[in-house]
Chains A and B, each alone.
Chain A
Amino acid sequence: MTSFLVRRTGQAALALFGVCTLIFFLTRLTGDPVLLMAPEGATRADIEALRTALGFDRPLIVQYWEYLNGLMRFDFGQSIVQRVPVMDIIVSRLPYTLGLAAAALVVALGLGVPMGVYMAVHRARPLARVLMGVVLAGQSLPTFWSGILLISLFAVTLGWLPSSGAREVTSVIMPAIALGLLSMATFARVARSAVLDELSKPYVRAARAKGLSTGRVVRRHVLRNGSIPVISVSALEIANLLAGAVIVETVFAWPGLGLLTVQAIQARDFPIVEAVVLLSAVVSIGLNLIADILYSVVDPRITLDGAAR
């Protein structure tokens, strides 16, 4: 067991190192920020001078070594374009990303779960099928389109909500809806099958036989027991919400990490790109590691099988 833990953690660390290395060299394949920073008409000499000043003329391996050295000291470097420590930028953007993901999760859960429960409890009613259609429809719209439609309606025509940015608390509503609609279907589906599972269990039949109303059974027992799969899916869905925010953030000028990443890549601001990717890698590889460890605790067969080979 311990050796499995050690080995699996070592592998995760190796994968993280792989991500850092891969990103470092892949981004360098796309050139450097010098041409973007130089004014129109800068001569070759000007461009070379800027390249030297920014250190991009040095051999790649030297730059890589320096990058790794920085990482060892938890120094993520300075943004090339903004000349501000990368850490400061990420720290200032992270709350927006988390806030949007949380709000989108609320939208997805708040709409998806009740619909899923309804669809399970009233499986035979036509409305259930209509609701499923609605849920799936929410998943079928490109966010850059639904986003601008939301803005046109709620900000321009009705004037109810701020059209973009992050100045007021209400600013998060529209981006959260645009993003949350995508995950709504997942929750509706999970809630529906969880409730269906519960409804087929003996205790429900027993409760009904005792004369309790369906609504009461559902409220009392089914919802509580059915919530476990919903919670476990939420954990996975949060990762999707964090990753899927790029376009929503662009449309709504929401200052999260997604927008930052796109702009940093387009500006070839490598230290920011590297730090964001490292952050997302730590989260996703870390979650995986935890999941694997938990599985091995729950179901020892899997790991023992693997270790035997």
Chain B
Amino acid sequence: MSHFWKPVRKGAVATVFLGAMSAQAVALETVVIDLVNEPSSLDPHVQWNPDSYAVYRNIFDNLLTRDDDGEIIPQVATAWEYLSDTEIAFTIRTDITFHDGTPLTAEDVAFSVERITDPDFGSPQLGQFNQITAAEVTGDDTVVLTTARPYPALLAQLVKLSIVPAEHVQEVGDDAFNAAPLGSGPYVFDAWQRGVQVTLTRNDDYWGDAGPFERAEFRAVPDAATRVANLQSGASNLIVTIDPDMAMQLDMAAGVSPRSALTERVGFLRLNGAREELEDLRMRQAIAHAIDKELIVEGLLAGFDRPVDQMLSPAHFGWIDGIEGLPYDPDTARALIEEIGEDAQRPMVFATAPVFDQRIVQALQQMLSEVGLNVSIELSDMSSYLSRVQSDPEDAPHMNFGRWSCACQDADGVLHPLLHSSSSWSTLNDPEFDAPLEAARETLDEDERLDAYRAVHERVIAEVPLVPLYQAAILYGVDDRLEWTPTPNESMFLNRMGWSD
């Protein structure tokens, strides 16, 4: 069987087909990357989704960036200094030029901040930056950002701030800029064949290392099985979003392999204590005891992911070693359920969406059924799922599966939205959660913050508003000739990739 499916690498039969032949000829100059959807927009300030992000981050430079180990390092800003708890001064590189040749200045940085924080502009990313109240150019190469309060996650958020050319944007307008984005990054926007692909070409005048590819093509391939076939047939060099079973399949195929990184994304099961069926703490504890995280990770996720006992990953600030959650113990779970009696048998709804791994959702449901609970899965499309999960706690589903990443590697971006009473993601209204979450948000003192988060983690274990499951791995399918290491923040920088020969 296996030899039948063994892929013929490109070129073997290509002589007959011109298309395949040209694919081989350009192979090493062009890297082809299969995303799920096409970018919604390449203006870095008007959307927030992974497919757009993968592309535009190669066209633009960001104020700061992270290295492959996840440390925050300079990019457009070479240095930064806190002037006070709410003011921070950035020194801007002077040797960067945009793709049209104009130099990148401190004005462009200030403009980018003002643009993304302007409520009338309507950036979906507004919430990530609206703690910034002012951006002021104070010298030739200095910008001072002022925040409303001390804001510990500021640097982590600025990693996501792409710098756009102020004059150009004002001159051509937002719509034209959106159609033909112009940045200062290692790759230049070349063409966008709607629905098919975005093509970038290398910026040979880049101030840093621009990488080995002359061209890069980002294609939209919605069906995962098709992406795998693309990789195996040599039509693409890198594919995103595959599941562990597909990864195993790639492992057996010739010339390609799966690559993974543990990310800052955490899988969890949210329990809605505002619904009467889950009001009883013992119910929520029983659920936590019923779940065998090890089995999910080893049995279903092929060991790529890692079970966690706190609602964070070690990649986050706020992770505390040695915290232990409620252990897998089906007998205790059954005992608790028996103690509750008939009320434990009431039907409950488990909401999920097609983007999540349905195997995990079904496995969780099975584990809950095995200890005697009555849970039914409700699968709806992503938009309906989001509005159900974020509706009033009394109407929200009893439980839902989620995979959370704030793309900021800071506990504030995870625990505050999931647990604070003011958040639409939280079904809680508990001062014991609110107080430490607020305290940790408003100080720059790392020890104080860690103490506050420890309190939050412990409260999560005591109250069980959610069950942390695992630190998610991100899986890619990669052409063996491509040298590249996936990173925890799920970024895809072309200038950090290369060919192995």
Q: Which residues of A contact B (CB under 8 A)?
A: 30-31, 33, 35-47, 49-50, 52-54, 81-84, 88-89, 92-93, 96, 148, 151-152, 155-171, 250-253, 255-256, 259-260, 263, 266-268
Binary contact readout B109-124 vs A (1 if CB under 8 angstroms, 0 otherwise): 0000000000111101
Q: Is the CB of B424 within 8 A of A40?
A: no
Q: Is the CB of B8 within 8 A of A159?
A: yes
Q: Is the CB of A163 within 8 A of B226?
A: yes
Tell me the complex Cα distance, A45–B6, Å: 53
Q: Is the CB of A158 within 8 A of B223?
A: no
Q: Is B25 an interface residue (CB 8 A)?
A: no
Question: Could you say which of B124, B195, B422, B425 contacts A93, with CB atoms under 8 Å apart?
Answer: B195
Q: Is the CB of B235 within 8 A of A162?
A: yes
List the B side residues contacting A39 at CB < 8 Å.
Answer: 48, 124-125, 127-128, 406-407
Given A92-B195, A159-B8, A255-B194, A41:B47 Cβ within 8 A: no
Question: Could you say which of A41, A53, A84, A151 contacts B226, with CB atoms under 8 Å apart?
Answer: A151
Q: Is B387 an interface residue (CB 8 A)?
A: yes
Q: Is the CB of A163 within 8 A of B230?
A: yes
Q: How many residues of B contact A (CB 8 A)?
A: 75
Q: Is the CB of B20 within 8 A of A159?
A: yes
Starting from the known contacts A155-B229, A263-B222, 20 additional A-B residue pairs (CB-CB under 8 Å) come to A41-B406, A43-B422, A49-B126, A50-B122, A53-B120, A82-B178, A84-B41, A88-B194, A89-B194, A151-B229, A159-B7, A159-B13, A159-B14, A160-B13, A163-B230, A164-B230, A169-B19, A170-B19, A250-B223, A263-B37
- 24 residue pairs from A and B, CB less than 8 Å apart: A31-B383, A38-B48, A39-B124, A41-B413, A45-B127, A46-B130, A50-B126, A81-B40, A81-B41, A84-B41, A93-B194, A152-B229, A156-B7, A156-B233, A159-B12, A160-B13, A160-B17, A162-B20, A166-B196, A167-B197, A250-B222, A255-B196, A255-B220, A266-B381
List the B side residues contacting A41 at CB < 8 Å.
Answer: 127, 404, 406, 413-414, 416-418, 423, 425
Q: Is B358 an interface residue (CB 8 A)?
A: no
Tell me the complex Cα distance, A267–B487, Å: 28
Q: Is the CB of B17 within 8 A of A53?
A: no
Q: Is B272 an interface residue (CB 8 A)?
A: no
List the A side residues contacting B128 at CB < 8 Å.
Answer: 39
Q: Is the CB of B404 within 8 A of A253?
A: no
The residue on A at minimum CB distance from B253 is A156
List the A side residues contacting B120 at CB < 8 Å.
Answer: 53
Q: Is the CB of B382 within 8 A of A156?
A: no
Tell me the complex Cα distance, A259–B405, Å: 28
Q: Is B429 an interface residue (CB 8 A)?
A: no
Q: Is B489 an interface residue (CB 8 A)?
A: no
Tell me the complex Cα distance, A292–B10, Å: 54
Closest 4 CB pairs of A and B: A53-B122, A255-B195, A46-B127, A168-B19
Min CB–CB distance A28 → chain B (angstroms): 12
Q: Is B137 an interface residue (CB 8 A)?
A: no
